[in-house]
Amino acid sequence: MKGHVFILIVTFILAGCTSDDEQIEAESSLNDAEEELEKLQEENKELHHEAEEHREQNESLHEELQAYKDFINKDVIESLDNTQLQPLAKSQWDYKLVIDGKEMTETKTIETSSSEVEIRFVEEQPLHTVLPHEIHNEGQISSNLTEHIEISPAEYDRQAPAGGNINSIIYRFNNLQKETIHVTVTDELRNRLGMEKNEIKILMEE
């Protein structure tokens, strides 16, 4: 009988210990969660503070840029005539011819052993300009860029990706068989590219 009573008492004691352990573990988990929450809240406050500082900096920069634009428009632009504004507007637009990843700075014949060729024309303008919009656009090449380019043979894939301040026209040739590619541009585009002649030849090596 005494043995049964002892077993019953031990059982109650173990049950109590288990319950206390679970409580301690629960309280520990709760404390950890509260600490993590406080940490996240503090990080959120810091991020909010940084975002506010960045917003104020952006506003300040925007105001500074606008003041600079006003100064340019009032004190500089108005004092220039159209012949003086045109070179300024053109300087805002950059044109490049890139063949197989290499920018062409002169007119020449190119030889390649690859059966794949990529020809890329790039038109780039600054993200921000102090020139009035209508004057800035006068610096762009006349009409569409594709109208200034002629490529033969015409068995190519053409893409025209646009990326904000950068526009491109890409011509890709695949499986070339000892052909000569002729790249011809208008006088206007040739001048913007800084080339002496209007045509570049791409020859397949024997």
Domain extent listing, the chain = 1-79, 93-204
Alpha helix ranges (H) inside the chain? 2-71, 82-90, 133-137, 187-193
Whole-angstrom distance, CA of residue 106 vs CA of residue 197: 8
Residue 85 in tokens: 């504004």
| Mean predicted confidence (pLDDT) in 19-34 | 64
Give the H/E segment covering residue 179. Answer: none
> Which of 32-36, 40-44, 100-104 shows the lowest per-residue confidence on average (mean pLDDT)?
32-36
Residue 132's pLDDT band, with cuts at 50, 70 and 90, is confident
3-state secondary structure of 80: coil
159 forms bridges with which residues in the sheet?
170
Whole-angstrom distance, CA of residue 22 vs CA of residue 10: 18
| Contact present, 9 and 1 (Cβ < 8 Å) | no
Whole-angstrom distance, CA of residue 94 vs CA of residue 41: 48
Residue 136 in tokens: 């800035």
Tell me what pLDDT residue 56 has.
78
CA angle in degrees (0–180, nearest 5) for 90-93-95:
115
Burial of 21 (0-12, 13-18, 19+ CB in 10 A): exposed
CATH number of 93-204: 2.60.40
| Mean predicted confidence (pLDDT) in 116-126 | 93
Higher pLDDT, 76 or 4: 76
Output the pTM of the full model.
Answer: 0.63
Residue 8's pLDDT band, with cuts at 50, 70 and 90, is very low
